[in-house]
Structure 1
């Protein structure tokens, strides 16, 4: 564009100059023609005007008229004269600078003119017009005869007005100047734009030279600089891509170097840590070996169970010290881990006649956590063993509750006991840091101290003299992961202890769609009658009204699955009264969910084995039970019954005492020796049963006595045992 304006300037100057010359020439030529035409028109008009004066030969008036015509004419008239053919001036008017001689000279130069004639003489236009006095209305260029011939001579100054041609030239000049100024301004603007664009390109080049990435030219440049812009952008993209690639390679190498350095530091730290742990482990190993030696030296002063517990605790401490991390990577469900240890815990407390209660949160069953099961069991066992050291303890409550938040989880383990509380020595042991200072019999405190340190456990111990103590451990955990559990539909919960009832109800409420609870037998019967419950959990009270409970459970068993739990001091009585309907293990969420998850067993699946050598009795029993939902199997001898029990699993056995090969008492003893029939109800089927005979039957493992002959009321007694056994 800049070159265009530059190339346009010279042609425009030439064009303007030519336009000025042409305009001046043309307007001058037009002015000449116009002046000649005006002179000719004036001469013709004057010819007509003087004709009357010539006819009248009034030369005086003619002279006046010529003077008047010269005065009023717009032409620069120098002289007007009327001459005879001989050259005599008849009438004239002239300017001061024009003499009669010059008039005559001009006439003489124009003799023999027969028509209008106009010529330029020096600076004058001289027109000669023949005029005849005989013609009243002569016309221009009309031939005249020699007789009576006159000549009208007009001398006009040949003077052109400058305004006539100067004004157009001025207009052309102004227009040309305006255009030139516009061209100059446009040229200056283009030069300015070009300078700005060049400065921008230079700035971008400096940025690129300094290593700046993505310094593209996105602004609109002049068309002349567009190729430079495209080339620069292509160069910038290549440079940026190259720099990015180099930076990535450098970053990658730096990252590898940093990783190597970190790995080296971590390896060094890990080595130091391992060396430190090895030194500590060697120290602790010497401590544990010394304790084991002391245990072996004084083993005679301990019972076998206590000695085994001491040795097991020392080995547990050694294994804990060798663990990399107590949390580990294994995912576990708290309810499952706790349920596996309940039998061992129950053995400890039953041996010391201490009531033991377990409470768990619903999250224990609905989530999994990362925890080493060995470390978890060791922690709970050590906390319980420490609590067992308290004086006058009759009741211990263990609470294991998993708390799950949006980002973190924590495991709360607390043990509450009655008795005299903690002694001063026990308080010191809870705060012990160096386990090597502990006595070898205080290994449970050492286990707690190791796990508290390894797991960063928050410890809280409360104790009041005569009111027992509470030990609570809060373990921070990674976020627990939920697992899918099918919710139970409805649960009816019974517990005479209202505090325990509320706590158990809260845990079960998150695992079932509906939980109904009560604390007395009448309320239990009422709630069961109002709506059928899939599962009924009963924590049995002291065994006072056994018969009433038997009747109530018989009603409840028709529509619901019953789970009964009793304390250790009354479980034998309840088991004798209710059979295996009473659970032998402590209540835990894991055992309950496992039992409740299985479908309720209907009486139609009850398998009854009847053993009698009397075919009439067998046929009669078949008739009585043909409409009952019982799968009946018959046997007529003791060995046959034993063989059938090896091939099949029966739910109830009705056993005749007098058999042809071996008697029913011996059959019952052999069945009780089998693992599959240790808890299956065996009913003695006999025609007579004295008191000492019943005692012999019970001693052989039989649960009840059914007297012959079999009647409807006795049949109901058999059906009751079938129902109770399936519910258990």
Structure 2
């Protein structure tokens, strides 16, 4: 029985020792791998920063310092390029002179080499590209024998102590039973009347009591020793925890130092850009200004009216286009009716970078900027269409990507566009067909607010040669008028020039066209604005400075040009009275002498027809009985003239029956004014004429 108990106890001891050794060994290996991986990651980040900053000569110094300051044995630190050639090393192991291809992977790897060596492999990425590999060789960590022995003592001492206590208690029980038997015999002797001296220490009962007392003291001492042992273990655990905390704090301090260094580099980068921006040409450029402004971009929204915003950005767009390229602008008819809350600075940077990018990679394409408002969906659609040559596929893929690192240096229009797009939180759609063109659409979330629309023109006349490229420009013109009249026939324009109150827009042709002189004469007319392409703008602007705008022109720029035109004097309201009675003519002339109405008189029908062919009138009073022909006949002939088909003509007669009034209207007259004239009728006539004049 004792032999089996000993063998079982020995088996427990061996199993406990083996399990404890395995657990501690695995934990040490795991902690060592984590420390080795963290050190390799820190060195890879520092190497990336040095490569970006041009400090390749400082890499070897960095590796030497890291090797001597590491908390575990580091044999060597080696950097390989993509061709597996050594770039920098602190001590090249002969094993690394012929590296294994499996060490160069796209993610971190850990290899346990022979001779108690560990190899950590990590790729070095610069702007998402693998520029090399960092291999860190370290010695195997020593095994913590003291910790293993302490755990072995704890796990084995307790069973042995319990076994000893059990054996001791069994012996004490036997002695106690013997003492109780002796005491019983002594008590029986005392009951029998035999003399019995008091029990001494040598007597069984007293010795048992003394032994029990000693056993209790021994248990208390064992408990105190156990508590002391546990306190010592807790102290060691506390020391380990403090050591781990110190290492964590050291790691956080190193991270903070790296962040501070990166922040300082970014500040120096921004300061250098500002200094370059303040340096005279050739450093000054719109792209450099955008690079500086991109460092200060935030996601703060501003309220803008899209039409005003487009007018402010249009000059920059025109400057980015090359002379051989053509840029057109198509605005939404709702541009003047809503204000938008959006990140306007990011939107401006996004558009400028996109226009420059398209102009750089497409030399013979027509660019069209299209804006569409969606108030019900709280969305704004911006679309840039290239017709002809399409964007390269690589550029389209870059536009559809996203920014991976905020610390990247934004040195291209593509990166500026991606950063501005991320601040706008816009969805991007890019489509392209070879040799047919490309389409880039941004869907931008925004908040709409209604506003008071601008005063638009009642009628706007546009003259252009039949060129398809002016179609988007007509969309901006529609924002300013209730009715847009587009003429493509030069012969029709002569009649329009006789209407001085209406705004006229000329889409000017090339200066060497056959009708250049005629176009120049029309351009100098009142209430006329000329629009020219960028390549011909200098010629037409020199002919009429201030009244010629370069395309594409926004609606607000057209509105400002309209407001800068000199005002035209309003024509007086012209009244023609056809009557052969000189008294009636004199009376009407006296009554209207104090008004702004211009009065003309005709004494017969032929005189009336002749005056109407030479002048225009807003109202005609037609007598029925004329010396040469009837007033109804004169009205029929006037209605055949294009300029008098809508002019009001009133029958001016002494009497009119219902049948006669019907005949007057069939002849083309609008109403009847009964003779003789008096002050009340003249007042009614003046009020009626004034209302007609106000509606013109």
Query: TM above 0.5, one fold?
Result: no
For the pair shown, which has the larger CA radius of gyration, 1 or 2?
A: 1
* Normalised TM-score (structure 1): 0.38
